[in-house]
Structure 1
Amino acid sequence: MFASPLRYRWLRELRALWPWAAGLLLVALGSQFALTSPRTSVNLEAIGPLKALPGQAITVTGLATGKALVNYSTGRGSGLDLRFDQARLAPETRELLQRLGIASPDGDAPASWITRAEPRAGDEIMSRFEVMSVDTGNPPGTLLLRVLAGATPRQVRLELSAQGAPLEVTLSMPWTGDVHAPHKILRLGETELVLPGTLPIKLHVPAEAIWRAVINLPDTPQPTLVANLEFGSFSGREGGGLAVSALGLDGIPGSAPFLACGATSGRQLWRAAWRLAKGDCPAKAGTIQVRSLEMRSDGAVLVVGGHAWVLKDGEALGEDILARLRRQP
């Protein structure tokens, strides 16, 4: 006669305690997430160079102002051709051509800058292009570089475009004193201008317009056949390169996506964890140094530095709090 009341009282006490038990369970799960999900920033140099296959796009966001964005110079025996979907002569270039008595069109049009082919022409020496913002105080929001496969083992190709602001592309060749040295043909729409190598040309490329660089590497045997693009200033020095806030490498079949959001050394990723998983970088999260892009006919190698929160193969890299506690109890 006493078992039934005791049993019901025990059940009533258990029912009164279950909210506390559920709360403790949620606290335990939250603690586990807090200790294992947030990650610290990663030193990008420890990851090593990033490989981009033909067809993959490299995106850099949050570009620093007042610097060269990308620059490239060919070596002896190399060739460089550029083709723009839309471009126009910069005002200072049009004025210079007018003073030389060279009529030039105004307005945006398809454009190309290619080597003039003629018999007994010498090697092209240090043909060069440099990419900057038209307004250094208002750089593009994003610079996109798509690696393309070369038509031959001695050719590399790259596609570039900018979002949010136009680009200024400076083109030039040195004067060698050789009357048979190659000249460049600048085509603007239906107009063709044959220019001496010493005359620098500046083109303004509208935002979103695509342009392509085709680089032919020397025929002479070399250990490696590469074209090395540099970013920013003093790219070869420690700390050099182009400062950006985010870097992405699109995934294609057979490769993995990569995303890096700039952060200071040892920075903990907390509220931005879900944004990183979705590929959304926090604004003003720090800087990444993009230094060079070593291009081959079958792909490219991107060299970067700095610290960042990194997402690779769908997983966030970097130590969690438990790993840091085990390493430094």
Structure 2
Amino acid sequence: MRQVRTVRAAVSAPLAIGLGVALAGCSALSSGDQGASGESDDAGAITKLSIVVPADPGGGWDQTGRAMQAGLEAEDLAASVSVSNVGGAGGTVGLANIAASNDPNTLLVMGLVMVGAVETNQAQARIEDTTPIARLTEEQEVIVVPADSPYETIGDLVDDVVARGKAVTVTGGSAGGTDHILAALVLKAAGVTPEAVGDTLNYVAYSGGGESLAALLGNNVDAGVSGISEYAEQVNAGALRALAVSGAERDALLPDVPTLIESGYDVELTNWRGVVAPGSVDDAQRDRLIELVTGLAQSPSWRGTLEEKGWADAFLAGDEFDTYLAGNITEIQGVLKDIGLVK
């Protein structure tokens, strides 16, 4: 997507005007001349970095941003790292602000959820308006229900959704994101036609995993879909029951939970997360950010975080991530059309 760099600069001004009022309080993303304000040392290394999480606290993006902050500071890769939350619309509010920013020392946490949300929300700002830096992690999804739910297996839940439709509520992250896509794919695998998915699935979208978890624990919804790291603690504590995971094999964090494929549903989906920079950064600024994130990805601190969180290492940087991201956007556009979430 480097070939669209001239387009990125062109869309920044109108986006800044349109979003200025709504996002005026998000100082970490202001689009002034912050890149020249002493945030790099004499050798060009980044000393002050802003990480923007485009969701409310508690979810996978928030965990990623704060794990990055801890790792960068622990490894002395950056003297000062701040994290700010700018939630809304599947991350597309934060995306629009990054696309309009002139700060070369800002990273936006993003991933597959945002790829889908851009399409379903018909967002004005697109991921193509940013500068890809690196893909970091990959994680399985898990489908859960409250501990006292009548659903003992994923088949129990799916059969009831097919039978009763919107009377059964399923929660997860933003509309069009990984959680929503997985729920729709499972229904399709159960025989629901793409045209009927929208009329069958009652999907309650939240901007962060913390909110969907609260809805589950409060028995306000019947089931939930999220990354394993967001629900595993409550599953292991007995507050939630895990019905299935979405990868090719069982996950080490929930080793007793079967895969969807094991359970008879031909569905495999994993959620990746990464970071992008403003579309305005030049090649030298891009290279500094790639070097910084590569140093983090290779550090002992980050390796420990991957093991603790149960995240798979999916590191790709620079041009490789650029190419991957372009292909993933095209792929998800097709999936969303195939399952009836976009036309």
TM-score by length of 1: 0.24
Q: Going by fraction, where is helix more abundant, 1 or 2?
A: 2
Q: Going by fraction, where is strand more abundant, 1 or 2?
A: 1
Bigger Rg, structure 1 or 2 = 1
TM-score by length of 2: 0.23
